[in-house]
Structure 1
Amino acid sequence: MADQRAKLTWTEDKVPVSERFDDPYFSLQNGLEETRHVFLAGNDLPARFTPGFQIAELGFGTGLNMLTAWSEWERSGQAGPLHFISFEAFPMAPADMARALTAFPELADWRDRFLAVWQGGACDLGTLRLEVIEGDARQTLPAWAGQADAWFLDGFSPAKNPELWGADLLHEVANHTAPSGTAATYTAAGFVRRGLEDAGFTVTRSPGFGRKRHMTRAIKA
């Protein structure tokens, strides 16, 4: 299993970069604001939060997206837990997560509560029920029995990690999306948008974060 762990280098600004995909785990400009812009606003969150809400994600990475969503869930005063499931082929060691997440002191409370118990797999933090399913999502997602209200599509760049953006996998995303559920991603690559449309989503292109001109939002038709 050791060779399936994330292999990292670090920029001078302490941003982890995947050696496998030669791509940073979050924006070099402001990873937290990117998550808020792309994955929260892109899915109309936290406005759509309701009891039992479930988020699913392709690419857990540092856990930044999960922590951001969880913090907003608690701030919104929701009763019961947020359900968050993520599919990750190359999980990051907790020590590397901790190092990366020091960049976001605003999330320190949620980071510390999470890392105090996280050993991989799943954990229950009262207001958060998290499961990270390890392995290739092309095999693991079809076997998942759940349906998400919102998807965070956060694989590495489609040009560098095309396996996580293929038509078959996007069909599985659609198959595991609740009626009127949504998906959002930082990329506006044409083949990704077409793949989502072919899978049954209504797709729109909207302004991206930072230097990215556009991003993609999708609603299950």
Structure 2
Amino acid sequence: MQDQQAELEWRDGGVPVSVRFDDPYFSLDNGLAETRHVFVDGNDLPARFVDGFAIAELGFGTGLNFLTTWAAWRAAGVPGAFHFTSFEAYPMAPADMAAAHAAFPDLAPLALALVESLGADGRATFEDATLEVIGGDVRETLPGWQGQADAWFLDGFSPAKNPEMWGADLMADVARHTRPNGTAATYTAAGFVRRGLEAAGFDVTRAPGFGRKRHMTRAVLR
């Protein structure tokens, strides 16, 4: 992982906010519930879980999406392990990550294991999960990634504040690294994001969003 770490402010009783992008890392309403709604349910999980299931993500942030997925995997009782790859330009310091996790006591054992196990190389291996966080600009790192994902969590900061994370070229790279009939989900329903996914080969639908967001986006590779 690269050395340039996230710069944070803490607001509203412990919600980390990116100074660079002036955007919170998770919902002010209920970050855990939002992750379950948008990324887990939005990719039809855990119904699709099988041994070796591969998830890729744009924006690791606090690691909440990984932790929520890990909890869902364990609750589903699926044998084997899943693989989770995340692309993150500004990794969060472990102490900040741990502070953010305090908002989610239900995930405490998994959160502690994550913080203690995540190496400087962005890798962690558990009995039922493997994690790799790839540092750097995703527009440079994703094209060279050798993996293929069954499901994508598109979780960059707001498209209005971080448009580079949502461009058509990047969505095309996402499609190229998606297995047949693979899916993607994101909290945003911004028109240019939807059009980029459609141009990349996804069938895109608008779904009810979480909390104050009226809509979100779900996509299936054609």
TM-score (norm 2): 0.97
Contact 1:151–1:182 (8 Å) recurs in 2: yes
What letter is aligned with 1:46?
Answer: P
Q: Which residue of 2 aligns with 1:6?
A: 6
Offset, 1:163:
0.3
Identity of aligned residues (%): 67
Q: Which residue of 2 aligns with 1:193?
A: 194
Offset, 1:112:
1.3
Offset, 1:111:
0.6
Where in structure 1 are there 5+ consecutive unaligned residues?
none
Q: Which residue of 2 aligns with 1:156?
A: 157
What letter is aligned with 1:83?
Answer: H
Cα distance in 1 for partners of 2:189, 2:64 equals 21
Cα distance in 2 for partners of 1:12, 1:181 equals 36
Q: Secondary structure at the match of 2:174?
A: helix
Cα distance in 2 for partners of 1:131, 1:151 equals 14
Q: Which residue of 2 aligns with 1:83?
A: 83
Q: Which residue of 2 aligns with 1:211?
A: 212
Cα distance in 2 for partners of 1:126, 1:136 equals 30
Contact 1:98–1:115 (8 Å) recurs in 2: yes
Deviations 1:73-95 (A, max 9, x none): 11111121110000000000010
- 5 Å-filtered alignment, 1:58-73, equals 58-73=58-73
Deviations 1:18-67 (A, max 9, x none): 00000000000000000000000100000110111000000000000000
User: Larger deviation: 178-187 or 72-81?
Assistant: 72-81
Cα distance in 2 for partners of 1:153, 1:12 equals 25
Contact 1:182–1:220 (8 Å) recurs in 2: yes
Q: Which residue of 1 aligns with 2:110?
A: 110
Q: Which residue of 2 aligns with 1:36?
A: 36
- 5 Å-filtered alignment, 1:8-27, equals 8-27=8-27
User: Larger deviation: 133-142 or 110-119?
Assistant: 110-119
Cα distance in 1 for partners of 2:59, 2:12 equals 24
Cα distance in 1 for partners of 2:186, 2:102 equals 24
Give runs of ≥4 in structure 1 deviating > 2 Å. Answer: none
Offset, 1:119:
2.7
TM-score (norm 1): 0.98
Q: Secondary structure at the match of 1:191?
A: helix
Q: Which residue of 1 aligns with 2:128?
A: 127
Contact 1:70–1:128 (8 Å) recurs in 2: yes
Offset, 1:12:
3.2
